[in-house]
A and B are shown apart, each in its own frame.
Chain A
């Protein structure tokens, strides 16, 4: 029996490894497609949109981790996103040619600041800024998460607290003209590693980097969610107090996931800022945070591919529709959300995996009797079927 079991186990492991290899191959192929083929298919304008939307897909992955898998609806990811954007923007604002009359970002001179504020100093260094892009949002998320989760605040109360965080940061950033240029945000970037930020070649590099980051983020989330850790996240989502009685303390797990999700939001914000050329407190608008949730809901909760697809789809729909009918987009977006919640509760990918597959089988004629799966697999039923006929 044990030998048999090990054999079976090995078989399962082998099959798993093979399907993992296939998946890696598909992901690589899609990435190559995005890097080499998509730029030929899309106009420059559409390509730059694609780059931005791909960076939004990274934050969608983060939302999927915390919401789709762990069941915590965060409505404050805009803040984490914006913090990443600000971190990279501060680095860019400090790329001042040595010949310039003032060695301060131009808005500071405007507001009469004569010395660089202390917290700007470390942003001269690129490695520091790159780390800050991930770590500042991650630490903020970890801190908020620790305080909230340790006190067992869950559900809608958690969502409200994250919204409150959004408002606090929005107001703070709006009010700090001298420190971070208030409502206007940081914009008008000049150079990055000595090249023009706005030059098409630089922008193309940003696009490629974004594609690669989406792949890395996807692989990372895939790793997180596939093992025992991922199953524990699902367990926390489905029945948190049961998890406690099984001997796990959910607090640490939730803090870690929230922090990872924050880091992903930060990376997304940085790439978005590089490609749009501006980061302002508008990114901390509550509406934007809610939009992020809609992307994931449309694509499919608890499906990483779904999060990416949702972000791309909704954003392209938004840009196409708002070009044609600028005034109706918001209604459409609300309608889309309602539609998804009522008709496709598990999103597009969730639908494809179940009903879509059935539909496909029906159309192609490979119709399978849909019965209660327990019946399909029950050995006793199987035995009866063989002996008694159908």
Chain B
């Protein structure tokens, strides 16, 4: 069981000369729960973008279960077993939670099977089970646009699980949640970690304490250090670049800067 699920070698991504990721090396065992932290602009979101195929590496390579991801499009990578949750919850607002989950759960995602195949009862049962897990059973058939922020976060985590991926990438799952919701999200992630490999990106240090086993610190596009929460917290370099400003973490950094850095555009021409 000790094979590597994800290996990243000498990864560099540059946008017009700006190196969002710089010679980054990273690897992760199957079944691991890893938390990635780092100050704003450290390249955390770009890191996820590269793994999911949204951004192609300028140099270096990303291996998922030993396969180089470079030549695969986003949907192919998703089908290989990588699921991603976005920073701001991205669920389909005009569909109900049940429909959201059913779309993700669909086993055969090509055009004609989606059109002609009836939803098997096994998938329906999975969806009902998931709705219960994320606590949305009683809201399963109203539009997702009417859910609260926390419920949307949970719905999106549910969509990830419905995809039954091997590797979950979770970008700031507790941004904008109450303390109690944050705690419950932590519990949920911990229970998911029993059967999945998970990478969590997070700012909220209390939350990181709750779930972290092994922490990777990113800074200026490279891995600054790696280790348990304790080791990381006492590493002088980390204190200098990140925890020094932020060590009590009463007020987590707003993800605004990160959001600004995330490349989004209405016209995507490859």
B148 CB–A CB distance under 8 Å: yes
Query: In the complex the two chains form, is A152's CB within 8 Å of B270's CB?
Result: yes
Given the contacts A151-B269, A231-B103, A235-B103, A248 and B90 also touching, CB distance less than 8 Å:
no
B142 CB–A CB distance under 8 Å: yes
Chain A contacts of B125 at CB under 8 A?
2, 5
Contact with B along A230-266 (1 / 0, CB 8 A): 0110110011011111111110110010000000000
Query: In the complex the two chains form, is A242's CB within 8 Å of B90's CB?
Result: yes
A18 CB–B CB distance under 8 Å: no
Query: In the complex the two chains form, is A245's CB within 8 Å of B111's CB?
Result: no
Kindly identify, within residues 148 to 176 of chain A, every residue whose CB is under 8 Å from any CB belonging to chain B. Answer: 151-155, 157
Given the contacts A238-B94, A242-B92, A246-B103, A374 and B147 also touching, CB distance less than 8 Å:
yes
Chain B contacts of A229 at CB under 8 A?
114-115
Provide the bound-state CA to CA distance between A372 and B143, in Å.
12
Query: In the complex the two chains form, is B99's CB within 8 Å of A241's CB?
Result: no
Query: In the complex the two chains form, is A245's CB within 8 Å of B74's CB?
Result: yes
Chain B interface extent, by class: 35 or more
Chain B contacts of A224 at CB under 8 A?
115
A367 CB–B CB distance under 8 Å: no
B267 CB–A CB distance under 8 Å: yes
Query: In the complex the two chains form, is B267's CB within 8 Å of A247's CB?
Result: no
Query: In the complex the two chains form, is A252's CB within 8 Å of B110's CB?
Result: yes
Q: Please report whether the interface of chain A is mostly helix, strand, loop or mixed according to DSSP.
A: helix
B78 CB–A CB distance under 8 Å: yes
Chain B contacts of A238 at CB under 8 A?
92-94
Q: Which residues of chain B have a CB within 8 Å of any CB of chain A? A: 52, 54, 73-76, 78-79, 83-84, 86, 90-95, 99, 102-104, 106, 109-111, 114-115, 119, 124-125, 128, 138-139, 142, 146-148, 159, 163, 266-270
17 A-B residue pairs with CB within 8 Å: A151-B270, A155-B267, A228-B103, A245-B52, A245-B54, A245-B74, A245-B75, A246-B78, A246-B104, A247-B79, A247-B163, A250-B75, A252-B110, A253-B114, A374-B139, A374-B146, A377-B138
Q: 6 extra interchain contacts, Cβ-Cβ under 8 A, other than A238-B94, A246-B103?
A: A151-B269, A152-B270, A228-B103, A242-B92, A244-B78, A379-B138
Q: Which residues of chain A have a CB within 8 Å of any CB of chain B? A: 2, 5, 9, 151-155, 157, 224, 227-229, 231-232, 234-235, 238-239, 241-250, 252-253, 256, 372-374, 377-379
